[in-house]
Amino acid sequence: MPLRTIITYPHPVLRQEAEPITIFDQELKNLVADMAATMYHAPGVGLAANQIGIARQVVVVDRSVAKNEHTYITLINPVISAGEGRVVDEEGCLSVAECYSKVERFRKIHVTAQDVEGNPLEFDAEDRYARIIQHEVDHLRGTLFIDRLSLLKRALYKKKLKKILQERE
């Protein structure tokens, strides 16, 4: 399970619309295993394939209950078919350096997807789990959580990022 490099904003692959998966083979399983390893290594609670430079509709979401557990769910071709309630909570993203901000999301969502074998999945998700899925599905559409911030907050972040990138040079 080799770790993959996490691509960061403003790389264009993060803006790409991810293509659906049609072939459920060993290569897909390897990709998912690498994504999970990369997510836990970061550490993060969700990862979309765009974030490792692969614009395909694959996400992994942490489902661990205990601290040292590494239990996750894989969602292939996920679709959020319904949402209800609105909650505001803090979000960050492995692809968006040094940015944490409050984002409004549905509190409860209905999700359809496929598992890594291609079997259909259909379930409701709430609260933190629902938030992570909405964040990851956004990635597959080329949307980042900073797109959901106010213009002012986004402008401030862009300014901050410019500074961060200059300091890294």
Least gap, CB of 25 to Ni ion (angstroms) = 26
Task: Give 53 or 118: the residue with its C-beta nearer to Ni ion.
Answer: 53
Task: Give 28 or 93: the residue with its C-beta nearer to Ni ion.
Answer: 93
Q: Which residues are catalytic?
A: 136
Least gap, CB of 28 to Ni ion (angstroms) = 21
Tell me how far the alpha carbon of residue 91 is from its chain's centroid.
Answer: 11
CB neighbours of residue 151 within 10 Å = 7
Closest alpha carbon to 134 in 62, 76, 57, 78: 78
Least gap, CB of 94 to Ni ion (angstroms) = 6
What gap in Å lies between CA 161 and CA 114, rounded to an integer? 36
Per-residue CA distances from 119 to 56, 81, 84, 130, 163 (Å): 17, 18, 26, 21, 46
Binding stretches for Ni ion (CB under 5 A): 93
Task: Give 113 or 146: the residue with its C-beta nearer to Ni ion.
Answer: 146
Task: Give 77 or 135: the residue with its C-beta nearer to Ni ion.
Answer: 135
Tell me the residue nearest to Ni ion as measured from the CB: 93
Question: DSSP states of 85-96 as a string?
Answer: EEEEEEEEETTE
Least gap, CB of 139 to Ni ion (angstroms) = 6
Q: Where does residue 88 rank: exposed (0-12), middle (13-18), buried (19+ CB within 10 A)?
A: exposed
**CB 121 within 8 Å of CB 115:** yes
